[in-house]
Structure 1
Amino acid sequence: MGFDEFLEKGSIAEEPVLTAGDLARGHLKPTRGLTFRPYWWEAAPRQHTSPALPKRSDVVIVGSGFTGLSAALTLLRHGRSVVVLERGVPGYGASTRNGGQIGSGNQKFRVKRLIELRGPAKAAAMLREGVRMLDYIEHLIATEKIACHFKRCGRFRAAVQPEHYESMARDMEDLHAIADVESFMVPKSELHSEIGTDVFFGGSILPQDASLHPGLYHAGLMQRIQEGGGHIIGNAAAQDISGDEHDGHSITTPLGSIKARDVIIATNGYTDGLVPELGRRIVPIGSGLIATGEIPEDTLSRLLPKNRVYGNTNRVFYYFRAAPGERRLIWGGRVGRLANNTSPLAFRHLARDMLHVFPELADVPVTHGWDGTIGYTYDEVPHLGRAATGMYYALGYCGTGVSRATYFGNKIALQLLGRSDGRTAFDDLSFPSFPVHTLAKRAVPVVETWYRFLDATKR
């Protein structure tokens, strides 16, 4: 019997796969597992090279995510020399670990609540600038010719409860009135025109929201920076920064020291004690995602007939989309609390959520599971500006960082250059610290568990 015939008779069994149903039930065999890295890295592997550290640069940027790369590109285009420092492999953090959904960044507050917090004029300015953030990332991708599957696909936000639908409808009216944002509502009777499930009570559509492939977008930004003469250096954590705005800064790394006229801190969810006044203003929160294997074309087109990006109205929300150019589903939410991120159990809750919405996917394989860290601020808005030490910063995107980080990176670079077009509606916002930062970090899982309880009990 030949080898091909041997295979056909099944004498050599294929390695069993982990299905969504198995994962949701916790039925895990030793031979079944996930690839514990972002699905996005399949098309855009991380670059492990660490070039030599220059002795001097006009600007050093700490952090190689979207903020840092956007800032670097802006500075290079204005004739500055730039070095980007990354503690690990460039792009290892949340910029290549997110879901690739792009909005205007106003998912945290309803319009009326934002007005209560900031006043009508400031709320309007922040909302309008959110729209400009979305437009800016589209402009940048087109101008720099970055192939990353950018698409204005629209966002469907599902109402988990009937009262959520009515509340969203009023909020969409307010959003149009104050910021001229286009939207429309989809009642439960028309739900299947947008999504193939019966578990929701309608939802809202923001047709200008977008999607991209975050791995390819990040790789494209890196390529443009390197082509422009910028340096992106991995395994070069900024261990200490001394000096000031008058004499310049000296940045110590494992590869040596570098001097720079200016420094930008662009670390978001990976902000630590390097700059204490920033460290106590950011709490890291974990985000987890899974990717499925191939889904039959007729099934996927029925489940996601408009191929948008999707989310819901829960306090602890989940979000999902189809992978660009493939029949896979990317499903995200908060990280699992009962297992580490190299155990399939860390992603069990994501499979459960997915099968609650789409039970017909129980037999579809789950191929990838990964997590990332987002940066939360006490007031739940992002911040940019100049620290007391003279260093610049942009961070705190609270889970809506694809467009915000890109936009804020550009703006903080323009502010460093002293340009008037670097001004934003966020410049004069106070940046509050967490009252007890250490306790705030420890409280995250407790608060999240409480929110899950409220979601489950429909309160």
Structure 2
Amino acid sequence: MVAIQKQVDPATAASVAADPYWWKAAPLAADEGADNTLPSRADVVVIGSGFTGLNAALTIARGGRSVVVVEARALGHGASTRNAGFVSRAFKHSFQSIVSKYGLTFAKNLYGELDAAARSVETRIRDENIDCLMKANGRFMPSASETHLTEMLRDLEMQRKHLGFEFTAVSRAGVADELGTDRYVGGAVIHGLGGLHPGLYHAGLLRSARAAGVTLKSFTEVTAVHGEQGHFDVSTSSGSIKCRDVVIGTNGYTRGLLPWLDRRLIPFDAFMIATRPLSGAEMRLALPGGKVAIDSNHNALFIRPSPDGTRVLFGGLTGSRPGPAAQKGERLSRILGGLVPSLAGTAIDHSWTGKCAATFDLFPHMGCHRGIYFAAGYCFVGIPMGTYLGTKIGQAVLGQREAASIFADKSFRTLPFYNGQPWFVPLVTRYWQSLDSRTRSGVLAS
């Protein structure tokens, strides 16, 4: 298949919204349920109103503690309502590599918690009665090369053997049943995974937090945290608040409050676009399998149908330097047209970005440093980990045994002289793209 690239009309590009597509169905309501004044005292202050912060706050409030959630912008303005909406179970590390480095027992425990994180999203949705269009019809993982495919299928077979995770291998010819492209050599469908509408999921968590008595304060930037566990004083743009415990749930937006944490997180930007509304025939041609998909390139391309099945959502160029939304959207649109020829020249009406965070060992982490609780560094599994580790942090604040996690036990390392400014991310991105340029899909973004 040959993609016919069309010129992008500057007037059309100028009309592309920089807001996430998800805000159409779940607009940010900064003042809804938010207090006008900041309480002078609470048991716990949670910094950040995303999935981590809200799951922690909800758990703590239901444990009988008073909780205040403070957010520098509108409630949910950060990555929680900007991501792809994948409910996944994957790391940059393969199961085989973890077995080789840490042993089978550790690998099984790690992936067991990773699966528990995915299941925790389903549990939270069910328990809170959140209508966020969750669909667990499988995750398609197209492979960019024969080497990638061989390694992927070997690793998935090991996971099936040791963990019971089911998958179906997809041949080169079978790719067309999942995705309208010929740029992949095969792949696999991972059963039991899928996607949701992150904006609606977040809105549902907000409703539950309010109902549980959580105080929500938007447009309140935390400027400093002083004191020690049991006696903290949190300074904000809206005043100060005294509390017993502090939780940081800001992930890629973390900066300045706990330098120890800054030195262990690598923030980077991710980019996405949404096409104009498409007909049913257009959707079937582009995404015949109707699944969320992420390919095997080092700097992966990811694609999915919108939860209502009316648009194609596409992401890539992760870690590249930020730029104007319309400009990034135009480049992603060209990549999408090269990948899925039926979408070449298709107009887009949303192009947005959000900050993610990785860690130097490419594992998520949670814990407590100098009395301040945190969970961060989700490494591309933000919805499951934000839900799961946010809940775990809430349990840790309450002193519950259920807070135990392999992600709290693992050493959280940094590098000498790193201060939280990720100057090297564009260099790593270009290196990954140079490797990907050897594949028929990866060359599109190189």
TM-score scaled by structure 2?
Answer: 0.93
1:417 pairs with one of 383, 398, 403: 398
1:290 pairs with one of 273, 279, 290: 273
Structure 1 residue 80, shift from structure 2 partner: 1.4
Tell me, yes or no, if the aligned pair for 2:71 and 2:219 is still in contact at 8 Å. yes
- What do residues 309-365 of structure 1 show as CA deviations (whole Å, max 9, x unaligned)? 0010101111111111141011012358466234x2222332122112211212421
* Partner-residue secondary structure (3-state), 2:391: helix
Structure 1 residue 232, shift from structure 2 partner: 1.4
- What do residues 153-211 of structure 1 show as CA deviations (whole Å, max 9, x unaligned)? 21001011122111111010111122221112111122222222211111011111121
Q: Which residue number corresponds to residue 74 of structure 1?
A: 59
* Partner-residue secondary structure (3-state), 2:69: strand
2:107 pairs with one of 107, 123, 132: 123
In structure 2, distance between residues paired with 1:270 and 1:339 = 15
Tell me, yes or no, if the aligned pair for 2:146 and 2:185 is still in contact at 8 Å. yes
Say whether 1:435 aligns with 2:435.
no
Q: Which residue number corresponds to residue 3 of structure 1?
A: none
Kindly tell me: are residues 206 and 31 of structure 1, through their superposed partners in 2, closer, same or farther at Cα, counting changes over 3 Å?
closer
Say whether 1:41 aligns with 2:23.
yes
- What do residues 93-124 of structure 1 show as CA deviations (whole Å, max 9, x unaligned)? 000000101112x2311111112332221111
Tell me, yes or no, if the aligned pair for 2:68 and 2:216 is still in contact at 8 Å. yes
- What do residues 123-162 of structure 1 show as CA deviations (whole Å, max 9, x unaligned)? 1100011111111110110110011001112100101112
Q: Which residue number corresponds to residue 186 of structure 2?
A: 202
In structure 2, distance between residues paired with 1:99 and 1:31 = 22
In structure 2, distance between residues paired with 1:164 and 1:290 = 26
Question: Which is further off, 357-366 or 131-140?
Answer: 357-366
Kindly tell me: are residues 337 and 232 of structure 1, through their superposed partners in 2, closer, same or farther at Cα, counting changes over 3 Å?
same
Alignment of 1:291-370 (within 5 A): 291-335=274-318, 337=320, 340-342=323-325, 344-370=326-352
Tell me, yes or no, if the aligned pair for 1:434 and 1:440 is still in contact at 8 Å. no
Q: Which amino acid aligns with 1:434?
A: L
Say whether 1:58 aligns with 2:43.
yes
Q: Which amino acid aligns with 1:168?
A: M
In structure 1, distance between residues paired with 2:425 and 2:266 = 9
Q: Which amino acid aligns with 1:93?
A: G
Tell me, yes or no, if the aligned pair for 1:266 and 1:395 is still in contact at 8 Å. yes
In structure 2, distance between residues paired with 1:363 and 1:191 = 22
Tell me, yes or no, if the aligned pair for 1:185 and 1:204 is still in contact at 8 Å. yes
Tell me, yes or no, if the aligned pair for 2:286 and 2:343 is still in contact at 8 Å. no
Tell me, yes or no, if the aligned pair for 1:335 and 1:346 is still in contact at 8 Å. no
- What do residues 201-247 of structure 1 show as CA deviations (whole Å, max 9, x unaligned)? 110111111211000110110111112111111111111111111x4
Tell me, yes or no, if the aligned pair for 2:180 and 2:341 is still in contact at 8 Å. no
- What do residues 273-292 of structure 1 show as CA deviations (whole Å, max 9, x unaligned)? 21011011111110000000
In structure 2, distance between residues paired with 1:179 and 1:339 = 39
Question: Which is further off, 25-34 or 316-325?
Answer: 25-34
Say whether 1:446 aligns with 2:414.
no
Question: Which is further off, 298-307 or 407-416?
Answer: 298-307
Structure 1 residue 31, shift from structure 2 partner: 7.2
Say whether 1:262 aligns with 2:245.
yes
1:457 pairs with one of 417, 426, 438: 438
Q: Which amino acid aligns with 2:256?
A: G
Tell me, yes or no, if the aligned pair for 2:54 and 2:209 is still in contact at 8 Å. yes
Identical pairs, percent:
34
In structure 2, distance between residues paired with 1:61 and 1:223 = 17
* Partner-residue secondary structure (3-state), 2:226: strand
Question: Which is further off, 328-337 or 374-383?
Answer: 328-337
Q: Which amino acid aligns with 2:107?
A: A
Q: Which amino acid aligns with 1:41?
A: W
In structure 1, distance between residues paired with 2:272 and 2:220 = 27
2:73 pairs with one of 79, 88, 92: 88
In structure 2, distance between residues paired with 1:178 and 1:54 = 50
Say whether 1:193 aligns with 2:177.
yes
In structure 1, distance between residues paired with 2:184 and 2:12 = 36
Aligned-pair Cα RMSD in Å: 1.9
Determine which structure has more spread, i.e. the larger CA radius of gyration: 1
Tell me, yes or no, if the aligned pair for 2:285 and 2:342 is still in contact at 8 Å. no
Q: Which amino acid aligns with 2:261?
A: L
* Partner-residue secondary structure (3-state), 2:406: coil
Unaligned runs of 5+ in 1: 1-19
In structure 1, distance between residues paired with 2:54 and 2:303 = 26
In structure 1, distance between residues paired with 2:378 and 2:436 = 24
